[in-house]
């Protein structure tokens, strides 16, 4: 399969017609898989060999380019619609935006500012009034920026409902990769023959991994026996407690409590050695066996093997998910699972 289809920003054309606005894209032909990309002495590495070995990484690069182009194209469409609306109102663009957006932003309430400070600074801001006070201008500015962005988005949506805006950029096709699974080591749940398998690479100290859990749980609740979930550890270097937390979770797996234990790790992300032992007590694990497992770093190599596998598959951050071999972010889980089930039903 040819993964790359180079897309040039110069290929974006804006078409204005009586029927509305559309974006036309003229992708250059897919590269010839036999074309040489590197010569080492008398040996040659071809485009196809490069794609076969690094398909996930190359897809990430193409997806990033697509998302950049989509964002820029949407910005162009918005500017065109806003210019048209301002002209129809007999106003300059600046005056029209002030009337329709700027004057409606307003100032955030004290409660809204308090809430965002709590989210930004957490317990430290709550216990340090001086720090919380210093954060107020930044929090207020952030909230105003968010309000303005929402108003712009809503206005663009209203205008595009009246004038057709059709995005015609070619979305890159994600490669399907085979994610190896060790039944003795990797935690899993759900039927082995489930039509959809979700493979997760996670870090117990990662805030985004914690944020992904409600989404994952909702998908499990929605699709039930149609899903199988497999977990891999991928502690990031900047999270010093992520690797010991992964080892602790694997020690809990020995006693068939992996999923319950990981819920506790994610709950407040309190990850000291004392916390690990406390969670074991709360789950009524055999504490002597758990402590021995943890002290001996029994699963340190298994965690490193998961990391190496993730790197090979192009995992460069957490959380990363593979749904039936397709690499996605956590916000895409529900839609991807739904698409997989629908495609299998059609097939």
Residue 210 lies in a domain: yes
Answer yes or no: is pLDDT of 30 > 70.
Answer: no
Claim to verify: residue 323 and residue 220 sit in the same structural domain: yes
- Domain range enclosing 244: 188-346
Position 131 scores a pLDDT of 81
- Specify if 138 maps to a domain: yes
Domain assignment of residue 38, yes or no = yes
Q: What is the pLDDT of the chain when averaged over all its residues?
A: 88
In this prediction, residue 8 carries a pLDDT of 38
Is residue 18 in some structural domain? yes
If asked whether residues 268 and 306 sit together in one domain, one would say yes
Q: Rounded CA gap, 314 and 293, in Å? A: 30
> Quick check: 227 pLDDT over 50?
yes
pLDDT tens digits, one per residue of 128-147? 788 888 888 999 999 999 99
pLDDT band of residue 26 (cuts 50, 70, 90) is very low
26 vs 1: which has the higher pLDDT? 26
Mean pLDDT value of segment 104-120: 87
Does residue 249 contact residue 294 with C-beta atoms inside 8 Å?
A: no
Asked whether residue 306 falls in the same domain as residue 247, the answer is yes
Q: Return the residue matching tokens 């096709």.
A: 173
Model confidence at 10: pLDDT above 60:
no
Residues 340 and 270 in one domain: yes
For 8, the enclosing helix (H) or strand (E) is none
238 and 106 together in one domain: no
If pLDDT is split at 50, 70 and 90, which confidence band does 114 have? confident
Tokens of 231: 């977990």
User: How many other CB atoms sit within 10 Å of the CB of residue 228?
Assistant: 18
Q: Is the pLDDT of residue 287 over 80?
A: yes
Query: Is pLDDT at 160 greater than 70 in this prediction?
Result: yes
Are 241 and 273 within one domain?
A: yes
Predicted TM-score (pTM) of the model is: 0.68
Q: Are residues 286 and 205 in the same domain?
A: yes
Helix (H, G, I), strand (E, B) or coil at 346: helix
Q: How confident is the model at residue 151 (pLDDT cuts 50, 70, 90)?
A: very high
Residues 112 and 115: their CA atoms lie apart, in Å, by 5
Cis upstream peptide for 319 (omega within 30°) = yes
**Do 262 and 302 belong to one domain?**
yes
The predicted-structure confidence for 183-214, as pLDDT tens digits, reads as follows 889 999 999 999 999 999 999 999 999 999 99
pLDDT digits (tens, 9 = 90+) for 50-104: 988 888 888 889 989 999 999 999 999 999 999 999 999 999 999 999 999 999 9
Asked, for residue 77, whether it belongs to a domain, the answer is: no
In a domain, 267, yes or no: yes
In which band, very low, low, confident or very high, does the pLDDT at 159 lie, cut at 50, 70 and 90?
Answer: very high
Q: Is residue 123 part of a domain?
A: yes
Pair (231, 301) in one structural domain: yes
Beta bridge mates, 200? 231, 321
Question: Residue 210: which CATH number?
Answer: 3.40.30.10
**3-class secondary-structure state, position 304:** helix
Interaxial angle between packed helices 273-282 and 258-268, expressed in degrees from 0 to 180 and rounded to the nearest 10: 130
63 and 161 share a domain?
no
Query: Nearest to residue 303, comparing CAs of 203, 190, 183?
Result: 203
Q: Is residue 176 part of a domain?
A: no
- Residues 127, 259, single domain; the answer is no
- pLDDT of amino acid 18: 34
Domains in the chain, number:
3
Q: 273 and 228 in one domain?
A: yes
Which tops the pLDDT comparison, 225 or 16?
A: 225
């Amino acid at each position: 399969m040819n993964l790359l289809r180079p897309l040039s920003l110069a290929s974006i054309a804006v078409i204005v017609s009586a029927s509305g606005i559309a974006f036309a894209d003229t992708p250059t032909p897919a590269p010839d898989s036999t074309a040489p990309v590197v010569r080492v002495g008398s040996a040659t590495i071809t485009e196809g060999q490069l794609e076969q070995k690094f398909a996930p990484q190359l897809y990430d690069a193409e997806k990033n380019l697509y998302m950049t182009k989509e964002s820029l194209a949407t910005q162009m469409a918005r500017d065109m619609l806003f210019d048209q609306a301002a002209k129809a109102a007999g106003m300059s663009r600046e005056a029209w935006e002030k009337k329709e957006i700027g004057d409606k932003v307003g100032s955030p309430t004290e409660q809204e500012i308090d809430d965002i400070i709590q989210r930004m600074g957490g317990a430290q801001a709550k216990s340090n009034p001086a720090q919380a006070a210093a954060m107020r201008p930044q929090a207020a500015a952030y909230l105003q920026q968010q309000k303005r962005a929402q108003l712009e988005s809503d206005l663009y949506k209203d205008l595009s409902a009246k004038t057709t805006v059709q995005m015609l950029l070619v979305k890159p096709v994600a490669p399907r990769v085979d994610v190896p699974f060790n039944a003795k080591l990797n935690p899993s749940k759900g039927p082995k023959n489930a039509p959809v398998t979700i493979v997760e690479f996670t870090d117990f100290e990662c805030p985004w991994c914690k944020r992904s859990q409600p989404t994952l749980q909702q998908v499990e609740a929605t699709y039930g026996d149609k899903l199988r979930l497999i977990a891999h550890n991928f502690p990031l270097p900047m999270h010093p407690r992520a690797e010991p937390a992964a080892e602790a979770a694997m020690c809990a797996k020995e006693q068939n409590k992996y999923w319950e234990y990981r819920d506790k790790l994610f709950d407040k992300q309190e990850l000291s050695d004392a916390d690990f032992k406390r969670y074991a007590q709360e789950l009524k694990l055999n504490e002597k066996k758990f402590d021995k497992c943890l002290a001996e770093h029994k699963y340190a190599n298994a965690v490193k093997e998961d990391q190496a596998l993730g790197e090979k598959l192009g995992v460069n951050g957490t959380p990363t998910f593979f749904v039936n071999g397709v690499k996605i972010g956590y916000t895409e889980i529900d839609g991807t699972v739904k698409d997989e089930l629908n495609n299998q039903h059609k097939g």
